[in-house]
Chains A and B, each alone.
Chain A
Amino acid sequence: MIEAELVIRNVQGLHVRAAGLFVRVAGKFKSEIFVSRDDKEVNGKSILGVIDLAAEAGSTIRVRAVGPDEDAAVTALRGLVDGKFGEEP
């Protein structure tokens, strides 16, 4: 299992477009992916779940991947979040 703590830094937070990118990247991996914020944990491949975390700008999320490509999955998701989902700041 690989786990990482990520800070949401894009202005609009994990909104629909960003959540869409997130689950699309998560969906490419075989591993199960979980995302949590505070004590709520959701399936990282579920857009409704990820939106439901309501992770606004500045909040911290935890990404947990379990499976054969867990390393690559967390690396890819970290790149996406740290890159502010490609938004201009």
Chain B
Amino acid sequence: MKFTGIPASPGIGIGPVVRFEREELSVRDIRIPPAGVAREIERFHAALEASRHDLTRIRDGIAAELGKSEAQIYDAHLLILDDPELKRAVEKGIREEGRNAGIMFRGYMSAVATRLEQLDDEYLRERRADVLDVERRVLRYLLGDGPRAAMALDRPSVLVAHDLSPSDAAQLDRTKVLGFVTETGSRSSHCAIVARGRGIPAVVNLRGIMQHVKPGDIGAVDGYAGEFELAPDPARKAFYVSRREAFEAEDRTLLGIHGEPAVTLDGRRIELGANIELPGDVEQVLATGADGVGLFRTEFFYLGRPELPSEEEQYQAYRGVAEKLAPRPVIFRTMDLGGDKVASYLGMTHETNPFLGWRGIRFALHHPELFSTQLRAIYRASAHGRVRLMFPMISSLDELLRANELCAGVARELARARIPFDPELEIGIMIETPSAVWMAEELAEHAKFFSIGTNDLTQYTLAMDRDNERLADLYEPLDPAVLRSIRHTFAAAHAAGRWAGVCGEMAGDPMTAVLLVGMGADELSMTTFDLPRVKAAIRSVRRSDAEAIAREALLQPSAAGVKQVLRRSIEPALPGFLSARRVDS
């Protein structure tokens, strides 16, 4: 019997099925005599404290493993433990009604959970699970049970659950859990993210699956296809095994070139960088075998927080990144706020046309003090590694000159104060606007490198909103107009003796990456997920062939023609597992 859900974490796991049941905690209603009230309140606080201790440990562990944003869910759980109304209600019940902490606590939490369940908003309705997760954790302490023992599996198994709470997810152990499936959830559920982080195959949103499984069944989780098969016959089992082997062969190939550079068959080396946005992402960059970071987005410092980041806070974060990566380079892109990234406390308001509005370098130059604070932090960090910086959204030479002047001012101040920094720090710019493309010769005189942001360059060149669903079929980075803009930019950079790269999504597609190399890219930067495949692609072609293909592609009158050239000329040269993955008709 085969069931289809949502693929949540790649991989294939086959083994005996274990139903993961939600445990039922029974809480008795006990009278507390007046003399026992103080002790009962103390017991309640001790249970909260013990839970806080557990959650802090889990939160820090997840933050280190998967990054801060994944740890936020545990922060919310910690806030529930500190809820003043909850404490007041439970203490009042113990004191005035003479009832025990467990019954009062459960009563309060259940009431909240019930109200959440009745809401129309699906997202908030799902938060009921968070409330119940915290409820169970605290109740176990009140009942004297301590934390739930890590999923006690006596042999490696496939878990089948209605859902996995954040607390359950934190305990998923890849040596014991061959894979899991849940009845609820989506690709962005916490348990799915943990599964991907730990390499555990998972399928979610398999409605009603619990009623089909009995202990002892064999189950196969296909995390690539989003399928779950119960009791596969020998032929199906063999199918899963060979499917797993094919994917593992790909992984081995990629692992085999992990420490190797991205060099074409005829010896042209391309620098491969990673695009990241949080200091915690650096570990992943190193694990991927990247040559450095080609785009570090710094917006996280300004968004999702109520006040501005200090110079010291930024310096510490940038320095940490530079030190961990050294001697590999990191390019910090200065604040790119506005457009789709709005921080209201910076005075940003809703604009009718935000992508053509007060954003990127325009916003930064309007706030020279705010901008200089960030520049100082980056300059100071440059004493601790190989730091480069670049400005986003440059659309005129004047903007670059003014930004360079601010940098020179920062360097002078630091030198005067005898604060160390790298005097050779390279300053580059992103090429994202048609005006920057056509002024590239002049810009190259004042910038040490170019990095082409192909997402914005495509939308500005084609005058097409990339988020407009009706235009989704037309928004096309392989449009000849975009390719010719890229070629012009590379040519201008090279004529001035500068290097140029690409940090947009185009760089992350293996076939398109080969095209970009043929057009003259010196560097490509992409997600850590895409990087190993792009490396494999570059290592399987000759640069001279890529150049010939690029010349042919640039002659095409349409994106469809370009794609035909890529499929005919590049695809056959790539390893089988890379072909026809992303470029469709």
- Asked if B121 and A49 sit within 8 Å, CB to CB, the answer is no
Which residues of chain A come closer than 8 Å to B116, judged between CB atoms? Answer: 51-52, 54
Give the distance in Å from the alpha carbon of A82 to the alpha carbon of B116 in the complex. Answer: 25
Given contacts A20-B79, A46-B84, A47-B76, contact A79 B306 (CB under 8 A): yes
Selected interface stretch from B35-43, B215-223, B337-345? B337-345
- Asked if A88 and B123 sit within 8 Å, CB to CB, the answer is no
Given contacts A85-B304, A86-B303, contact A43 B84 (CB under 8 A): yes
User: Interface size of A by Cβ–Cβ distance < 8 Å?
Assistant: 33
Given contacts A42-B85, A46-B86, A52-B116, contact A87 B304 (CB under 8 A): yes
Give the distance in Å from the alpha carbon of A52 to the alpha carbon of B131 in the complex. Answer: 11
Give the distance in Å from the alpha carbon of A88 to the alpha carbon of B123 in the complex. Answer: 17
Which residues of chain A come closer than 8 Å to B115, judged between CB atoms? Answer: 52
Q: Is B526 an interface residue (CB 8 A)?
A: no
Q: Is A83 an interface residue (CB 8 A)?
A: yes
Given contacts A21-B306, A83-B344, A87-B304, contact A12 B79 (CB under 8 A): no
Best-surrounded residue of B306, B341, B343 (most CB of chain A within 10 A) = B306
- Asked if A46 and B123 sit within 8 Å, CB to CB, the answer is no
> What per-residue 1/0 map shows which CB atoms of B58-85 lie under 8 Å from chain A?
0000000000000011011001101111
**Interface SS of chain B:** helix
Q: Is A2 an interface residue (CB 8 A)?
A: no
Which residues of chain B come closer than 8 Å to A62, judged between CB atoms? Answer: none
Q: Is A25 an interface residue (CB 8 A)?
A: yes
Give the distance in Å from the alpha carbon of A46 to the alpha carbon of B88 in the complex. Answer: 11
Chain A proximity of B124: nearest CB distance (Å): 5
Given contacts A48-B80, A48-B131, contact A21 B344 (CB under 8 A): no
- Asked if A51 and B124 sit within 8 Å, CB to CB, the answer is yes
Interface size class of B (residues with CB under 8 A): 20 to 34
Which of A16, A21, A43 contacts B130 (CB under 8 A)? A16
Q: Is A64 an interface residue (CB 8 A)?
A: no
- Asked if B123 and A15 sit within 8 Å, CB to CB, the answer is yes
Give the distance in Å from the alpha carbon of A66 to the alpha carbon of B155 in the complex. Answer: 58
Which residues of chain A come closer than 8 Å to B84, judged between CB atoms? Answer: 43, 45-46
Q: Is A74 an interface residue (CB 8 A)?
A: no
- Asked if B121 and A54 sit within 8 Å, CB to CB, the answer is yes
Which residues of chain A come closer than 8 Å to B82, judged between CB atoms? Answer: 47
Q: Is A24 an interface residue (CB 8 A)?
A: yes
Give the distance in Å from the alpha carbon of A56 to the alpha carbon of B340 in the complex. Answer: 20
Q: Is A61 an interface residue (CB 8 A)?
A: no
Give the distance in Å from the alpha carbon of A57 to the alpha carbon of B72 in the complex. Answer: 21
Which residues of chain A come closer than 8 Å to B131, judged between CB atoms? Answer: 48, 51
Query: In chain A, what residue has the closest Cβ to B77?
Result: A16
- Asked if A83 and B121 sit within 8 Å, CB to CB, the answer is no
Which residues of chain B come closer than 8 Å to A21, judged between CB atoms? Answer: 304-306
Chain A proximity of B112: nearest CB distance (Å): 5
Cross-chain pairs A/B with CB under 8 angstroms, 12 sampled: A16-B127, A21-B305, A23-B79, A45-B84, A46-B83, A48-B112, A49-B85, A52-B116, A76-B306, A79-B306, A83-B348, A87-B304
